Amino acid sequence: MKTPELLEAYDTHVCGEPGRVIVSGMPDIPGESMFEKMKFLEGQFDSVRKLMLREPRGYPAANCNIIFPSTKPGVDAGYVIMEQVEYAPMSGTNTIAVTTVLIESGRVKVEEPITKLTLESPAGLIQIEAEVENGKVTKVTFENVPAFSIHLDQPVEVPELGTVMVDVAWGGMFFVIADAPSLGLKLTPDEAGEIVRVGEMIKAATQEQLDCVHPLNPKFRGVTIAQLSGPPLDENNQRRNSVIVSTGELNWDKPNSWKGALDRSPCGTGTCAKMATLYSKGQLGLNQEFHHEGILSTVFTGKLLRETQIGEYKAVVPTLSGSAWITGHAHYRLDPSDPFPEGFTVGDIWAE
């Protein structure tokens, strides 16, 4: 399948996190669900992800989404989420970005003050309510897939760091969550480099030592993302977090291979995973608002609606609220003579 030479996309940020949304120019992708389309892109047509997320069109903190017609009747749209080293089955920031673009670009029916949508993600159907004023989306609230804990307060042996106690939970992706203060971190922007280094090391060690499999889809297996959690800087919030997104594979024999990027937002799926661990520990109840700060002190608001069961795990159904802003609208071109049709990475800011 040939990489498209012209893609129309909107650029956004969601509480600081950049997210691109491709709205036209993609060929039809095989698959009877967004999950199958995601797996086709991942296995046979990964060039679009690389084109849009690597330099010169992308950079390490960027995400990208592709909007497709849904494969399900009565569903407004589908979308596939592309990140630096993986296709995420679900992402809160990207869901908020996609919703904002669909509404503000007029691609779905809009009703004010509330527009209700159902979107198909690779992880399942997502119910959304968007607050709209004069055509502008002011807040997006969605009901996420059920979140649940796999491991709680488990020791992981990490080179240089020693024994680190971690939680592992599903919030749409499998997160390893560690306590920031015990690692000497306050989760402020000046610590970004050390947060990435520590988070990548903990994630790599957890991947080796703790297994996790989604009971309803065994293809979702293993921790792919790390979160450091600490007390809030603003007393109006409950917790502060920083989520570390890989930009390459960590190699223990190469000290500089820990390069990654921080999620600039409070991370939507990460917030849901954190709420699931707090619920499991009796530290967060149903229908309690949970205000979660990110590295920029922007805030997502979460809430656990009800209990459910996912395989052998007691799970909770979370909602998440946040806002996005469109920052650009462009046509991205691939000249057939371009020497970098899949972009490029350079070791000053990317992992080797």
Say if residues 171 and 217 touch (Cβ distance below 8 Å).
no
Which residues lie below 8 Å from residue 347, measured CB to CB, with a gap of 6+? Answer: 256
* Secondary-structure breakdown of the chain: helix, strand, coil percentages, each rounded to the nearest 5: 20, 40, 40
Q: E strands, the chain, where?
A: 6-14, 17-24, 63-68, 77-82, 114-121, 124-133, 136-143, 148-158, 162-170, 174-179, 225-230, 239-246, 260-262, 290-293, 299-310, 313-322, 324-333
How does DSSP classify residue 55?
B
Reading the block at residue 316, the tokens are 């909770």
What is the rounded CA–CA span in Å between residue 276 and residue 303?
10
Q: Using alpha carbons only, give the angle 196, 198, 204 rounded to the nearest 5 degrees.
A: 95
CA 291 to chain centre: 18
92-104 helix and 268-280 helix, angle to the nearest 10 degrees: 140
Q: Which phi and psi angles does 349 have, rounded to 5°?
A: -125, -5
DSSP H helices in 54-175: 92-104
Residue 91: active-site member: yes
Q: Which of 33, 70, 91, 297 is catalytic?
A: 91
List active site positions: 91
